[in-house]
Amino acid sequence: MLAEPHFTRHAGAWNMLTAAVCMALLGCLQAQELQGHVSVILLGATGDLARKYLWQGLFQLYLEEAGKGHSFRFHGTALTSTKQGQEVIAKVLESLSCPRDTAPGRCTELKAQFQQLSEYRRLKTPEDYLALSKDIEARVQHEGLQEAGRIFYFSVPPFAYAEIARSINSSCRPGPGAWLRVVLEKPFGHDHRSAQQLATELGSFFQEEEMYRVDHYLGKQVVAQILPFRDQNRKALDGLWNRHHVERVEIIMKETVDAEGRTSFYEEYGVIGDVLQNHLTEILMLVAMELPVNVSSSEAVLGHKLQAFWALRGLQRGSAVVGQYQAYRGQVRRELQKPDSFHSLTPTFAGVLVHIDNLRWEGVPFILMSGKALDERVGYVRILFKDQAYCAQSEKRWVPAQSHCLPQQIIFYIGHGELGGPAVLVSRTLFRPSLPSASWKEVEGQPGLRLFGRPLSDYYAYSPVREQDAYSILISHIFHRRKDSFITMENLLASWVFWTPLLDSLAHEVPRLYPGGAENGHLLDFEFSGSHLSFAQPPLEQLVLGPDSAPMPSDFQVLRARYRDSPLISAWPEELIARLAGDIEAAAVQAVRRFGKFHLALSGGSSPVALFQQLAMGHYSFPWAHTHLWLVDERCVPLWDPESNFQGLQAHLLQHVRVPYYNVHPMPVHRRQRLCAEEDQGAQAYAEEISTLVTNSSFDLVLLGMGTDGHTASLFPQSPVGLNGKQLVVLTTSPSSPHRRMSLSLPVINRAHKVAVLVMGRMKREIAMLVSRVGHEPRKWPISGVLPDSGQLVWYMDYDVFLG
Ligand code: BG6
């Protein structure tokens, strides 16, 4: 009885106590459940990227996570002295801003907290790393916390990666139960080999799951929306997202800034390593990959992405155009202390034509383009659909939302440009897209604004409700362990496998000079046909000199002469190939007219690639339906191996023409799961096939090449077989890998009605000179044994070989 009044009297205090205990308890519960202390270590904290984006991203993380159970500390580190570093960081922290919807008071409060939780320290030696680790442990212990994990953000040049990684691994890993995440900024190597090397090196310090490789374009809101957009609009897109409907895809990132101040970086990577290999390739994959059933499964997305990588057609020299803004050379000389005679070949502009050889995209051009010192800053992906309608009404009666004769396109507008921000645009005649309404809103009309040839009102246009910076988004994903916005090692290496051959082939290419900005005029416009891309206009110097001053290919006559007593045709490479392709077509037409079929035996290697492409693209009257294709030689690798000659034929010719499959005769190098085993009798089987199908085993035309050692087909100097005798097909050994080969023999080659030997490039100068003088010595130079019994031999040599 007494207790009640007592209780009643103290009810207020009791309630307060209860609330306080509950709060504390709740705090403890949270602390046990999800919290713990998170240390973020920003390496390179005083650098450009950190000052511009990363500190703001970390602040954003704090704004989102403060009060949700974790405690934080942000350690900015660099090699700079403590005093200097502290000054820089203090300035950066002062400039941080809150999102527009944060109340000013709240912003000031959180900013002050963040400043308090941030520090600068110099991190240089392994001892410094150890000291940092001890400090974190001491703080955690002192404050009665548990350590949740450590994030190391590498905002440092890649040459410093290995050393830092070693120090973290040896002295700064968190204790058991806490996680480690290391965030790495591109560039990850400058070609496939260096990327592989870096991957191996980092792999010796960190697990793959601990590494977050950043491509900040994957954090851009519009880029991150590509897969969800495809997913949420499956119904409308299913029928449209393919080669039957897509005319072409443009993936573009134009910049007005140049590379001043960054030339030491730029000299090593150029625009291809800086932008195309990473940002634009990632976007390409998001557009081109097959859509997984579950787009939020990172494994499924990666798997589909890799499949798309493997379907990319290899790039060749002719797949790209490159340029360099005029001031670049001077900037390099100044910044890197190079002499006046120094000429950089680094491209600051590139346009690349990509093809994807799969059923969805075959034949659709994907144009990737990026450059510095251009006329505007803008980034976008534009999917332009084919115009497949005829409109019966006159154009003046076309209604934008209904007429199917207006351009139809979907644009993922990454940012900047006329629109000034990110947006997704869909032509109204296509469909009304569905986007998550919580995060995307319809763009308000901007009168007079035209995009891609149409007024904005022609599109359904959506922009993010709240614009967010890519780095803030990615930092939040790192914290929440969302790995799907980062680049896996497999993904990275696949991209380098694709780009490295092009970089190699451009290594000695002189980029076209351009003045920069609006003055570039049409100088960088390019056009494409087949797999080939070229500038639409002659270069500036020639424009200045006058259009007639440069020699035109037509100024050079195809030269006819004799070589080893046989006709020689010599020309510039393109003309030579055109001539040879024309001669082969003429032979085919003649053979089909007389005998109903044409037996053509083709060599592998790199020289015939251009010929195959020419035949595939430009010879519409070629009687493919009556042509039998044979291999002159083959490497002893499975036919699907990229090294096999058959693959070259398949990629550059067969898949583009209509040869009945029963007319294609690959060499049987792979029988009973073995490669070129004598006892499998592959050579005999091919010889039988030839005897059965080719009258007198006389091919209508055999195309050969000539190696720098004088080999032809796969008949190498000192070959013990294939130079004479009865065998039509032999197994041989090559001095270079893969060593085992299968080859037509000289006797069967010499039975052909016509033999064409194609020789191209400077590398062949010496051997061409030598072979022009030697007699019939096939043991030393197998090519000298090519002399058709009653057929005709013609040599096709480009000027590089012949005039050298
Ligand atoms: C970086 C490149 O990755 O991307 C820079 O190294 C380029 O050369 C930058 O300027 C462009 O990014 P954003 O976000 O400004 O489009």
CATH topology for 565-801 is Rossmann fold (3.40.50)
Dist. CA 13 → ligand 1 center (Å) = 59
Residue nearest atom 8 of ligand 1, based on CA coordinates: 274
* pLDDT grade for 617, boundaries at 50, 70 and 90: confident
* Mean pLDDT, residues 77-90 taken together: 95
* pLDDT grade for 560, boundaries at 50, 70 and 90: low
Spatial CA neighbour of 66 closest among 38, 92, 47: 38
Please state the atom number of ligand 1 nearest to the C-alpha of residue 415: 16
Q: Which homologous superfamily does the CATH classification assign to the domain defined by 218-385+402-506?
A: Dihydrodipicolinate Reductase; domain 2 (3.30.360.10)
Query: What is the average pLDDT value for the chain, to the nearest integer?
Result: 91
In this predicted structure, what is the pLDDT of residue 404? 84
Is residue 548 pLDDT above 80, yes or no?
no
**Does residue 274 line the site of ligand 1, with CB under 6 A?**
yes
**Does residue 215 line the site of ligand 1, with CB under 6 A?**
no
* pLDDT grade for 355, boundaries at 50, 70 and 90: very high
Is residue 313 pLDDT above 80, yes or no?
yes
Question: Over the stretch 14-48, which tens digit does the pLDDT of each residue have?
Answer: 444 444 443 444 444 443 444 799 999 999 999 99
Q: Are 319 and 537 in contact (CB under 8 A)?
A: no
* pLDDT grade for 804, boundaries at 50, 70 and 90: low
Query: Architecture of 35-185 per CATH?
Result: 3-Layer(aba) Sandwich (3.40)
* Mean pLDDT, residues 639-668 taken together: 94
- If one counts every other C-beta atom within 10 angstroms of the C-beta of residue 495, the result is 25
In this predicted structure, what is the pLDDT of residue 764? 94
Is residue 553 pLDDT above 80, yes or no?
no
Question: Over the stretch 679-717, which tens digit does the pLDDT of each residue have?
Answer: 999 999 999 999 999 999 999 999 999 999 999 999 999
Dist. CA 178 → ligand 1 center (Å) = 34
DSSP H or E stretch at residue 161: helix 161-171
565-801 shares the fold of 218-385+402-506: no
Greater pLDDT, 737 or 446: 737
Residue in the block written with tokens 């155009």: 321
Is residue 515 pLDDT above 90, yes or no?
yes
Please state the atom number of ligand 1 nearest to the C-alpha of residue 266: 8
Residue nearest atom 6 of ligand 1, based on CA coordinates: 274
* Residue 216 a catalytic site member: no
**Does residue 255 line the site of ligand 1, with CB under 6 A?**
yes
In this predicted structure, what is the pLDDT of residue 14? 45
Is residue 6 pLDDT above 80, yes or no?
no
Question: Over the stretch 118-162, which tens digit does the pLDDT of each residue have?
Answer: 999 999 999 999 999 999 999 999 989 999 999 999 999 989 999
Q: Considering 37, 75, 192, 279, which one is annotated as catalytic?
A: 279
DSSP-derived secondary structure for 114-134: HHHHEEEEE--SHHHHHHHHH
Q: What three-state secondary structure class fits 32?
A: helix
* pLDDT grade for 444, boundaries at 50, 70 and 90: confident
* pLDDT grade for 283, boundaries at 50, 70 and 90: very high
**Does residue 147 line the site of ligand 1, with CB under 6 A?**
no
Question: Over the stretch 751-776, which tens digit does the pLDDT of each residue have?
Answer: 999 999 999 999 999 999 999 999 99
Residue 688, sorted as left (phi over 0), alpha (psi -120 to 50) or beta, turns out to be: alpha
In the DSSP assignment, the letter for residue 356 is B
In the DSSP assignment, the letter for residue 102 is S
In this predicted structure, what is the pLDDT of residue 102? 85
* pLDDT grade for 538, boundaries at 50, 70 and 90: confident
Pick from 49, 54, 265, 279 the residue to mutate for probing ligand 1's pocket: most ligand atoms within 8 Å of its CB.
Answer: 279
Residue 263 neighbours by CB under 8 Å, 6+ apart: 328, 331, 332, 335, 336
* Mean pLDDT, residues 309-331 taken together: 95
Spatial CA neighbour of 771 closest among 696, 695, 717: 717
In this predicted structure, what is the pLDDT of residue 399? 84
Strand partners, 350: 322, 370
* Mean pLDDT, residues 62-77 taken together: 94
Dist. CA 217 → ligand 1 center (Å) = 9
Question: Which sequence spans correspond to the domains of the chain?
Answer: 35-185, 218-385+402-506, 565-801
Spatial CA neighbour of 608 closest among 637, 567, 655, 645: 645
In this predicted structure, what is the pLDDT of residue 558? 54
Dist. CA 3 → ligand 1 center (Å) = 72
Residue nearest atom 10 of ligand 1, based on CA coordinates: 255
Dist. CA 370 → ligand 1 center (Å) = 10
* pLDDT grade for 579, boundaries at 50, 70 and 90: very high
